A = this chain, B = another copy of it.
Amino acid sequence: MITNHTEYQAIERRFTRLAAIHDALGVLGWDSQTMMPTGAADGRAAQMAALRVIVHELLTDSRLADELAAAEVEAGLTVWQRANLREMRHAWIHANAVPSELVEASSRAASACEMIWRTARPAGDFGALLPAFTEVLELQREIGAAKAAALGCTPYEALLDAYEPGVRIAMIDPLFNDLAEFLPEFLPRVLERQATLPAPRPLDGRFPVETQRILGERLMRAVGFDFNRGRLDVSLHPFCGGATNDVRLTTRYNETNFTVSVMAVLHETGHALYEQGRPAAWLTQPVGLARGMAMHESQSLIIEMQAARSRPFLEFLAPLVRQTFGYTGPAWQADNLWRHYTRVEPGFIRIEADEITYPAHVILRYRLERAMIAGDLAPADLPAAWNDEMQALLGITPPDDRRGCLQDIHWPSGGWGYFPTYTLGAAIAAQLFETARLADPGIMQGLSRGDFVPLVGWLRTHIHAKGSLLSTDDLLTVATGRPLDVSVYRRHLERRYWDGE
C-alpha cells in the first residue's frame, strides 16, 4: 500500500513538471501574439515545438505507464487523488493513442495549410487550399480513428474529447437539433419585433486607446480580476492565455468604436476568472485544470452575455461610459447601449455574429466537420454544402468563399471538433446563470452597481474551485440540479430578444 502510494506521488511529480512546461508554453504563446518581433517567428516555433516534444516524451515514457497502472489499483487515495488519476489517464490516452510520426505529420500539415489559408482566404480561393486542406483532414481522420479505439467512442467524438473531455454526441445532438429547429422560427420573429422599435442611436465619437484601456481595467477590477496574477495587453485577436497565477488577457482597440473592446475585455475576463479561481491545492495537477473548453466558454459568456448585456449592468455601464469618454445625450443612455448590444442581424461571419445567430454558425460547422470526419462529405464539396446550410439556417448565401467556408482558421490549422464548445458553452452559461440568479437575488442587484462579487462568488464555489474533479455533465448537474437543458437557453433568448428584458 505504502509502495503504491509512492507510485501515486511519483506520478504527481511527473505532472508537476509537465504543468511547468505547459505554463512556459503559455507564456511563450502569449508573447508571440503580443510582444514578439516578426523576425523571431521561426525561432519561437522551434522553441514551442521543442517543448511540445518534451511533453509528449514525458507522457509516453514507459515508466509513467507502469506507475499509472500501479496507482490505479492502490487503496486509500482521496477523492481528489482518484479524480487526478482519472485525468492523468485521460492525458495519457490522448498522448499514447497516436504514434509520434502521426502527431508530427499532422502538425506539419496544419502549419503548411494555415500558411496557404492566410493568402487563400483574402483571395476567396478555396481551390488553392483544397490539397493542403484534404491532407489535414485525412490526418485528423487518422488521429480520430486511433483515439476512438482507445477512448471507446467515435472518431469525431475522440477529436471533440481533446477540447471538452467526456462530452459526446449524445450531449450535443439534442441541444443542436433543438436549436436548429427553434432558431429559423425564432429569428424572423425577433427581426420583425426589432423593426418595430427605434434603431440604436449611433455612438459617434473619438475613444482614445489609453482611455479605453483604463475603462477596460476598471471593468476587469469590478468583475474581480486579480492584477497581481495577470495583466491586460493588445493583440490582433483578443484571447486569454498565459500561465498559472499569470493570466494574460488581450483585447484590441478601435478609436471610433468602444463597444467591441468593452465586451471583448469582459469576455476574456470571464475566462480569466476561471483560471484565477482554480483550486489552489491542485494547480500543478491535471485535476486542478479548468474542466474543458465548453465549460471555459460558459464562464466567459456568463460575464459577457448573461451579466454584461443585462439591463441592470448596462444601467451601471452607461454613466461610466459617459464619464470616461465625456459624452452626453440620449445615445449614451443605458437603453441605447442595450439596443446596440442586443442588435440582431444575420451575417456571413461567425466572429461578428450576435447572440441569436451565433449558434447557427456553430451548428453549420458541427454538421460539416462531423460529415467530413465520417467521410460523408468530400472537401471538394465543402463550399456548396456550406452555402446550403447557411441558406437553411440563416436564409442567406455567402457571395464568395472568403465570407463562407474560408473564414475560420480552425480547420486549416488542425482544430477539428472545437466549434461545438462555443454553443455548448452558451447553453451551459444560460443554465448556470439562471440557477445562480434564482439562488441569490443579490446577483442581479449587484450587477446594477457594477458589483460582481455575488455572481463570481457563486461561480467560484460551484465551478472554478472544482477544477476537473467532476465530468462536465456531473459538474453542471451538481451545480444546477439537472443535466444540460436546452429549454433554459431558449428561455434566455426569448426573454432578452422577444420580451425585451
* Interface set of A (CB-CB < 8 Å, partner B): 16-17, 20-21, 23-24, 27-28, 31, 35-40, 42-44, 46-51, 53-54, 226-231, 243-246, 284
Contact = CB atoms under 8 A, between A and B. Distances in A.
Contacts of A226: 39
Contacts of A38: 228
B39 A246 contact: yes
B246 A50 contact: no
Contact of A43 (B21, B31, B44, B244): B244
A46 B27 contact: no
Given A31-B31, A35-B35, A49-B20, A43 B228 contact: no
Contacts of A244: 40, 43
A247 to B, nearest CB: 9
Nearest to A24: B47
Contact of A50 (B24, B40, B46, B49): B24
Given A21-B51, A51-B21, A246-B44, A31 B27 contact: yes
Contacts of A229: 37, 39-40
A464 to B, nearest CB: 17
Contacts of A44: 27, 243, 246
A51 B37 contact: no
A47 B27 contact: yes
Nearest to A22: B47
A382 B319 CA distance: 64
A291 B16 CA distance: 36
Q: How many copies does the complex hold?
A: 2
Contacts of A40: 229, 243-246
B47 A23 contact: yes
Given A17-B50, A31-B31, A50-B17, A246 B36 contact: yes
A243 B43 contact: yes
19 contacts: A16-B46, A17-B50, A20-B50, A21-B51, A23-B46, A24-B28, A24-B50, A24-B51, A27-B28, A27-B44, A27-B47, A28-B28, A37-B228, A39-B226, A39-B228, A40-B229, A40-B243, A44-B246, A47-B243
A53 to B, nearest CB: 8
A28 B48 CA distance: 12
Contacts of A48: 24
Contacts of A227: 37
Contacts of A17: 50, 53
Contacts of A51: 20-21, 24
Contacts of A231: 35, 37
Given A35-B35, A230-B37, A245 B43 contact: yes
Report which residue of A23, A31, A246 has the largest number of chain B beta carbons within 10 angstroms of its beta carbon.
A246
A280 to B, nearest CB: 12
A16 B21 CA distance: 18
Given A36-B246, A40-B243, 6 more contacts: A16-B46, A20-B49, A24-B50, A27-B31, A37-B229, A47-B243
A305 to B, nearest CB: 28
Nearest to A57: B54
A294 to B, nearest CB: 26
B46 A20 contact: yes
Report which residue of A20, A23, A42, A226 has the largest number of chain B beta carbons within 10 angstroms of its beta carbon.
A20
Report which residue of A21, A42, A46 has the largest number of chain B beta carbons within 10 angstroms of its beta carbon.
A46
A20 B47 contact: yes
A46 B20 CA distance: 6
Report which residue of A47, A49, A243 has the largest number of chain B beta carbons within 10 angstroms of its beta carbon.
A47
A142 B477 CA distance: 59
Contacts of A36: 246
A51 B231 CA distance: 24
A355 to B, nearest CB: 32
Nearest to A17: B50
Report which residue of A17, A35, A229 has the largest number of chain B beta carbons within 10 angstroms of its beta carbon.
A35
A248 to B, nearest CB: 8
A47 B28 CA distance: 12
A242 to B, nearest CB: 8
Nearest to A228: B39
Contacts of A230: 37
Contacts of A49: 20
Given A228-B37, A230-B37, A231-B37, A246 B21 contact: no
A43 B23 contact: yes
A251 to B, nearest CB: 16
A284 B244 CA distance: 30
Please provide the 7 A-B residue pairs with the shortest distance between their CB atoms, ordered closest to farther.
A40-B246, A20-B50, A39-B229, A39-B228, A24-B47, A20-B47, A20-B46
